[in-house]
Structure 1
Amino acid sequence: MENLVSVIQSVKLDDENNTLVLLDQTVLPNETVFLELKEMEDVWDAIYQLKVRGAPAIGIAAAYGVYLGTKKSSAQNYEELFEDFKKVKEYLASSRPTAVNLFWALNRMEDRFKQEEGKTVSEVLAALKEESEAIRAEDEQICEAIGEHALSLLEPGMGILTHCNAGTIATAKYGTALAPIYLGQEKGYQFKVYADETRPLLQGARLTAWELQQAGVDVTLICDNMASIVMKEGKIQAVLVGCDRVAENGDTANKIGTSGVAILAKHYNIPFYVCAPLSTVDLDCKTGEDIHIELRPSEEITSKWYEKTMAPEDVKTYNPCFDVTDHSLITGIITQNGIAYAPFNESLPNMFEK
């Protein structure tokens, strides 16, 4: 079976047609649909509705989006173009609050814009395109480096549990938490992966199980509340998860349910690793208490995945999209520059200096 990571690109720029091309992750695994987006409202909606998701992929989409949105400007000079750029940037930044890569990518694009001060409109647009393409290319290299560092912690034949989707479709290529699995697959490690279905959006069931199966990896899908039993039965030797934001002290925001997995891993003495590109590490965010947790619509719990509503009509719901895993539960945070260990407020800043 052809390895999925070698053939699919979830976020692409079609510059000739002024189009952002996205793999629609909301219709997987039943359909493989690529959206062709030209309007900023559609890009905003794709990020908000999780048609594109995964912190790195969101950042790449935002970079391409702010470039394409600025390209629509009728500005005649640098100053006018910058005003239009800022409007597009602020609009896209309002789409989702938790994933720091969204803001990181938009800020990086603004920094590049400012470096081009005094140049013509066409020169600035060329620079923005170049920067957006660099963000995508760098992410591919970063994911491979994270995978190599993570693989150094693993042994052939291990059972690995993962939560949500931190795979190739969430990034430029390879993924973060799934990168060592793909690299191990290439080297004959024969990992046995257990994928939590991951409520409320079933991103483990719909996305992780799908892409690992497509790549020929031995993957078993379990419900979220089965993590304890597979750990107790000795099926799991390591937990690998991605993340949407890492605070300075090592507290980590990821898909809801990650914190519970970390608590279970601690109980069963199983190492719990967070795979995080440095663009996801927010040193200005001191602890997990400072991370804004996104709340999602109640329908994602009560009716979205069912032919008929599976909850009492008008029942109250609480649907946070993320939770925060306390740094004390994390064995190590794997970045492209190496593995950070506690105390994280010392090791994480050092990762940026390498």
Structure 2
Amino acid sequence: MIKPVEWAADGIIMLDQRLLPAEERYLKLRSYEEVADAIRQMVVRGAPAIGIAAAMGIALGLKQSIGTSVADLEEDFEYICETMSRTRPTAVNLFWAIERMRAAFQKAKSETSDVEEIKQRLIAEARAIHEEDLAANRAIGRFGAELIPDGATVLTHCNAGALATGGDYGTALGVVRGARDAGKRVAVIADETRPFLQGARLTAWELAKDGIPVTLITDNMAGHVMKQGKVSAVVVGADRIAANGDTANKIGTYMVAVLAKEHNIPFYVAAPISTIDLSIPSGDQIPIEERDPSEVTQLRDQRIAPEGIDVYNPAFDVTPNELITAIITDKGVARPPYTQSLRALVQGA
């Protein structure tokens, strides 16, 4: 089982995904500041994994608080939460996890004034978020498997596998694994996913590790392989899904969705209920993170573009709901109109 993030007695253990596939190195992060920086620097990435890491970072920070009263502890807790909230703006799972930890703190505070007891409850909550994510991904895999025909080749963009979640199954790749576990023959075409190469470095790595046939292509080959009839379905993950079904995912996803529509290929989004943000009506309200230009102008430490040029590096784009065939969640499959189907799934969760 791939474990991108894990709780330990003396810190948080993270697989440094920046080094894959060349090196499989695990870091031990011993403070909430180190966890926040790891999220910011993409040691850990993928919306569900970011949420888990943030929850564990909050629990770790609270555990290390020297506050002797509940009031002291609450002051530290809120500062830690604010630090986590400033790491990455697009993935709603980050904010969902922070709010869940806030609710757990308020409940604990109302039931006990024992500082150590409150700390232990917050650790338990963070670990529960992790365990629930593993179960949610298995459920996504079961629901999604029904949509994937035997003998299918699935095209995916970025990495929405075990590395992007609590581990084991993943979301988009959870659908692939669910189909495999249901006895279906399934293969994957993985977009490289410039500029951070999550498809080339991470998706290909974990599928090869799992024995699932995978073919790597560059991002600008997607239309060609669709036109050749090599793609049965597209399955991608999500970082935030608006109330109307508009979906933010790794930059380039919108382009793939347009191509799938043109070639009459079903385009599926796979994500847990926690990725759905009913507070925003459409994708127009989703904040889009912009990252360092060096991610575009350099590969590792090798410069691939001229010095001094302008660079635009949005990390995500938004796919309009009309391009999405269905949204696969851990509570069922939502279909258009998404304003009704997504709300029904969230309210039933």
Which category of TM-score, normalised to the shorter sequence, fits these structures?
over 0.9
Q: Which runs of 5+ in 1 are unaligned?
A: 1-6
1:42 is matched with: 34
* Residue equivalent to 1:86: 78
- In the TM superposition, what is the alpha-carbon distance from 1:131 to its structure 2 partner? 0.6
3-state DSSP class of the match of 1:117? helix
Q: Within 5 A, what are the aligned runs for 1:36-75?
A: 36-75=28-67
**Superposed CA offset, 1:3-34 (max 9, x none):** xxxx221110112x2x0100110000000011
Per-residue CA deviation, residues 173-201 of structure 1 (Å, 9 max, x unaligned), is 30000012122233442212100000110
Deviation at 1:113, TM superposition (A): 0.4
- Could you tell me whether the CA contact under 8 Å between 1:164 and 1:203 is conserved in 2? yes
> Which residue of structure 1 lines up, in the alignment, with residue 194 of structure 2?
199
Taking the aligned partners of 2:243 and 2:254, their CA distance within structure 1 comes to 17
* One-letter code aligned to 2:271: A
SS in 1 for 2:68: coil
Is 2:5–2:12's contact at 8 Å kept on the other side of the alignment? yes
Q: What is residue 339 of structure 2 aligned with on the other side?
A: 345
Aligned to 2:256: 261
Does structure 1 residue 109 correspond to structure 2 residue 101?
yes
The equivalent of 1:4 in structure 2 is none
How far does the alpha carbon of each residue in 1:29-78 deviate from its partner, in whole angstroms, 9 at most, with x for none? 00001110012221111101110011111111111100010111111222
Q: Deviations over 1:267-295 (max 9, x none)?
A: 00000000011100000011111011000
2:90 match: 98
Partner of 1:323: 317
Aligned partners of 1:197 and 1:223 also within 8 Å:
yes
1:304 Cα deviation after fit: 2.9
- Paired residue for 1:292? 287
> Structure 1 residue 156: deviation in Å?
1.2
Instruction: Give the alignment partner of residue 163 of structure 1, picking from 154, 157, 165.
Output: 157
The aligned counterpart of 1:145 is 139
Q: Point out where structure 2 has 5 or more consecutive residues left out of the alignment.
A: none
Could you list the structure 1 runs, at least 4 aligned residues long, displaced by more than 3 angstroms after superposition. Answer: none
- 1:179 maps to 174
1:132 aligns with one of 115, 118, 126: 126
Question: Which of 328, 341, 344 is the matching residue for 1:334?
Answer: 328
- Whether the 8 Å contact between 2:144 and 2:178 is mirrored in structure 1 is no
* Letter paired with 2:36: W
Give the CA deviation at 1:306.
5.9
37-46 vs 316-325, greater mean Cα deviation: 37-46
Counterpart residue number, 1:281: 276
Q: 2 CA distance for matches of 1:129 and 1:42?
A: 17
2:15 matched to which residue of 1? 23
In 1, distance between residues paired with 2:55 and 2:186?
35
Contact 1:190–1:218 (CA under 8 A) maintained in structure 2: no
Alignment match, 1:210? 205
What amino acid maps onto 2:228 in structure 1? E
Matching residue within 225, 232, 237 for 1:230: 225
Deviations 1:135-174 (A, max 9, x none): 0010011000001111011111101100000001111130
Determine helix, strand or coil for the equivalent of 2:12: strand
Matched residue type, 1:218: P
SS at match of 2:172: coil
Report the TM-score when normalising by structure 2.
0.97
What is the alpha-carbon root mean square deviation over aligned residues? 1.0
Counterpart CA distance in 2 for 1:188 and 1:122 is 48
Select between 296-305 and 49-58 the one with higher mean Cα deviation.
Answer: 296-305
Question: Bigger CA drift: 255-264 or 178-187?
Answer: 178-187
Which residue type is aligned with residue 70 of structure 1?
L
* TM-score, normalising length: structure 1: 0.96
Distance 2:67 2:183 in 1: 55
Letter in 1 for 2:290: L
From 236, 245, 251, the equivalent of 1:241 is 236
